[in-house]
Chain A
Amino acid sequence: MSAEAPHVKGGLGQSILRKEDARFIRGKGNYVDDIKLPGMLYLDITRSPYAHAKITAIRTEKALKVPGVLAVITGKDLAAANLAWMPTLMSDKQMVLPTDTVMYQAQEVAAVVADSRYAAADGAAAVEVDYEPLPVVTNPFKALEPGAPVIRTDRKEQSNHIWHWETGDKAGTEEAFRSAEVVVGQDLYIPRIHVSSMETCGCIAHMDSVSGRFTIYMTTQAPHAIRTVYALVTGLPEQNIRVVSPDIGGGFGGKVPVYPGYVLASVASIKTGHPVKWVEDRSENLQADSFARDYHIHAEVAARKDGTVTALKVKTLADHGYTDAAANPSKFPAGLFHIITGSYPFAKAFVEVDAAYTNKPPGGIAYRCSFRVTEAVYTIERMMDILAHRLKVDPAELRLKNFIPPDAFPYKSALGWTYDSGNYAGALKKAMEIIDYAGLRREQAEKRRRGELMGIGISSFTEIVGAGPSHTFDILGLKMFDSAEVRIHPTGKVIARFGTKSQGQGHETTYAQILAEELGIPADDIRVEEGDTDTAPYGLGTYASRSTPTAGAAASMAARKIREKAKKIAAHLLEVSPDDIEWKDYAFRVKGVPTKSKTMQDVAFAAYTNHPQGTEAGLEAVDYYDPPNMTYPFGSYICVVDIDKETGQVKVRRFVAVDDCGTIINPMIVDGQIHGGLTMGFAPALLEEIQYDENGNIHGGSFMEYLVPTAVETPHWETAKTVTPSPHHPIGAKGVGESATVGAPPAIANAVVDALQPYGVEHIDIPIHPWKVWQIIHAGAPKTG
């Protein structure tokens, strides 16, 4: 920004420090577990050691004798109140506590309420449960075989098949494949992973029996939706329910679902009349909270010999655990998986997904990705590399040849999405230039001659975020708008409240910046609040990179409504007609006489002290923004890896990420989102995975086994941007919270596979452990002519 260009302090495009960090870096955040209410009790949970078993008896006597234990809640108690099961977002149902059968290891079996956390833990250990083990199915393919043990015997359909969904032109796609010059196909498994946010889940539920008010402090990404769901499920009047989402230590989709613990704490409070705190520990979080991914994908690409892609066919088996509790508000059971045509103009495409029950925890959350976009991007970006390999062309060249061109936007994909804007070649070329792609390929060729293993991987992803337009999205009927309520005080300072809820994204800063830009008031003078349903306007919460596309847009719209009214006041102050006033360079100015002007601060004071007759006093507005379309951020990532041939260890030497998220509100925050997202994309590519053995025992249920990357392994990220604004967003912004998580895994996988080309491999399932690489190297190069 040049010094003389008019700007407002903390407006758009400025890397101002995050307002929230003042408290976070001092350790003064206020998380659920920091909150202590008078008379508060503690709840702990007894969990199942079996993945599938009949419960033949639950004996609570010993637990009730533990000093400090006040109550034990079992499934039978809940069944009496019709609360043993709760609905899921996907029209399935989930147990709060089982009455007769457990369906995954670590499932909640009983809840113990005590006057201290220690007594509650001792009580939970003292609950005696008799189990009769049942046959276990953990593999979804086996779950669908005839004769497989039926997990959900409560359902009418006595089968483990949940649903089948398909979209696209089946016949046309088949035809395109029949006439294709080249076809490549690959099985890809994207393993079960976990968001493992720094803060685990928890709540304090308080039913005040005198006032009839129910308050719950809760680690939730969507407080208003929770309030309405509670009202609908419990019958409590909605005005008597208050959901408070205080500071949240990471959500990533994992804090969208309603977990049994929340319901149990609520029941316990109703039962005891005391506030009841439940905070899960790390193992409970990893073992029982919703997982992400777990998609078994078969993809095929049809192309011409010159590399032009023509058709895409995808068949997927989704493992949903024992219930479909996916946190997916779209109208499609597999979420937005059909963004899978990616950055390429496939003329024909067909996608089908089947979902199966297994003896695993439920979920299917969109871990830092809008509802199966990671799965889609990984698939298409791996397939493009496989096609390049088969055709013996450079993967960058193949992408550049195929990209949807900039002038084709808005672009309607074969599977029905309308991409808002993009310049895919621009991003890839920029990344290639920064990393010196040609130089790297030369270096690689030399190294190959010496027998050294170096790989270069590209991912040119297209994201789809900002759920979403009400024609495509809802949560139990609630449309997916979001909201801003902006009020300017007499002294020109602002309070603004939103229906979203930051979990670390920095809303207190970025929303203030949008408002600063729109209102001409420094960001420092704008206070942003979220997360208390008593004060915030109704909104659907924060996930799916939706906050900027929805609530960020609402901030602009509300500010513009304020400007409309403020203009009249300014005209009154300047003694001209409102038609003679324009908003220019952050002030109301008399057209043609720009020195005659009033700032928003002048107007705000007048709004309370000297408002024109016929206008209401005060200066505020509310906006509920239902986005007309999704936003489609994109980018190109290039990764360079070196491989230790003796040990199979993969080292990411360089990683260049060029992102395009449209208009940038705060470059530093965007970079922070990219850094975190890249690390969360690096993790499943090389480290993270939750596995189960055939008895349904979890492997990866603690941080001893579930290896979250540390600063030591995390590569040095090199970031850059291109800017292609969204045409339909008030400030042209797209979401950016998830791009990197979505875009990074295939870049890394592609780089490793590229490094191993001398061994003839086309695919390795992630996470790429050293032993997988070693096995390939150890097996030796194929004897080809």
Chain B
Amino acid sequence: MRTLRKNYSEAADQWEALQTSSVPVLYVGAATCGRAAGAGEVIERLQTEIRDRQIAAQVVEVGCLGLCCLEPLVVVHKPGSPQVCYGRVDTDRIVHILDRYVLGDDPCAEWALGTMTPGEVDSIGKFSEHPMMTGQVRHVLRNCGVIDPKDMSHYLARDGYRGFMKALELGPDKTLKEVKKAGLRGRGGAGFPTWQKWQFCRTASGEPKYVICNADEGDPGAFMDRSIMEGDPYSVLEGMAIGAYVIGAESGYIYVRGEYPLAIRNLSIAIEQSRALGLLGDNILDSGFSFDLEIVRGAGAFVCGEETALIASVQGDIGSPRQRPPYPAQAGLWGKPTNINNVETWSNVPAIILRGGKQFSGIGTKQSKGTKVFSLVGKVRNTGLVEVPMGTTMREIVYDIGGGPQKKRTFKAVQSGGPSGGCIPAPLLDLPIDFDKLQEAGAMMGSGGLIVMDDHTCMVDVAKYFLAFLVDESCGKCTACREGVAQMHNILVRICQGEGRDGDIELLEQLGTYVKDTSLCQLGGTAPNPVLSTLRYFRDEYEAHIHDKTCRAGVCKSLVRFAIDPDTCKGCGLCVRDCPTDAISGEKKEPHHIDADLCVQCGVCYEDCPFDAVLVE
């Protein structure tokens, strides 16, 4: 077997050279999240400045560090100094940082988030002690934001593909044992033990066999997989190669939604580079094992994340799920044994093989091992990608990492598992997060989307929102999901419009149970969750909507009337300025007043008011 010794030593040299570069190196987070916040312009500006002013400095585009709310992120590494990470770096700020820190001596501490490597710069604290980073264990995301995802030498220098090579040495049986020992469970939602899935496919009869990476990531508000593919595509390829080796598959597919062009680009580059090194292709490293990969672009249907629908879509059929059994492990792609895992699952594999399953299973809870990446969004101060050990409590994520609710709001619930998940209310905040605990609470790990909601969120409206999503995303194949979810949505719309009736809650429960029970696939099988779980924890809100015709959160327009509390109103005029219908009047510094005839219940004043003087009646 070839060992790529030369390539590794070259890669190590290159990496070392970058770390000890004689000129300043600026790492810019250029994943989709960074670009959305303006990283593209920042890079352009940087390069122009460097070129025009002939500044001796190097720019490296890296993936996402996870602090999405502070994007664009730039890490500056001056020779002899530790790396300093800056947040919210726009085109102005980058020029300041160039002038003051890169060319001067002022480290711009006011924008610094922390130092990333040992050493001191001014009074800047450690990045790892930034509130958003404490408690995080960067295991899957170890390379994200650190390496250039288009430069394979970076990956190799950080032990890339060593797990795969070790697997080739161990042989399929021992490799599978490591995965079993690790206790890795699927990160795509259901949490099925990965080793067992591999085992089914391995022992299934039929040739050839396939491995597929599920990168459809259709949950609204979830972007874990995207970040991994954009920031560290090699780890996905390596994981798949290991899995294929264990299973005996010679080809694999990565099913990526078309809305992820950057992920597709970075994956394609990684595949090219891996092929060039002989890590993909025929007779890899003279081991006798052949494996190659292809990217298939999905058209962005939530249901295509369901494995049988995904397979149909890869085959060029309509992306509708089919009744299981047979399971993909028995009859999957083109009717052949197929193993499908999620991006994060695959990405976890190389380290498990390299460091041993035992090390992995040392983290986490009894039934859920390792770490989990969550995308933390919604009404929290810090939003972004967080990776925590299994067993971390929801409170730690929401309050410590997320910084708690915004403004002076109170936390109400967190929706876990996306549209097919459920909500976890405040009393359950201390629930340690793992697959089974979430399930018990009526929610779901899902693929890791966490949406935080506060007292300005109406839970009936939230359920309605998710159901509207699911009505749109239902493939329409089976009656239960197509008709049932649509009728549930109808009822919720009625309730939110103030036309709720006696019996609606019972009907929702009946229908919800029916849809869960009778649907063909797990889209329908989980679709009622947002309703059932909000009914479980926030039944009073439903009752208030139906019987009292009120929406306490001030969201359901037909049910709210806004008024200004004269005692709290400071007469700042913010609401007057923003009211689209000029319904608010009042002298400056005097209590204001809302003209009910003009008010369209848009809620802008309610959200605006810095003193919480706008009340919901």
Query: Are A and B co-members of a single complex?
Result: no
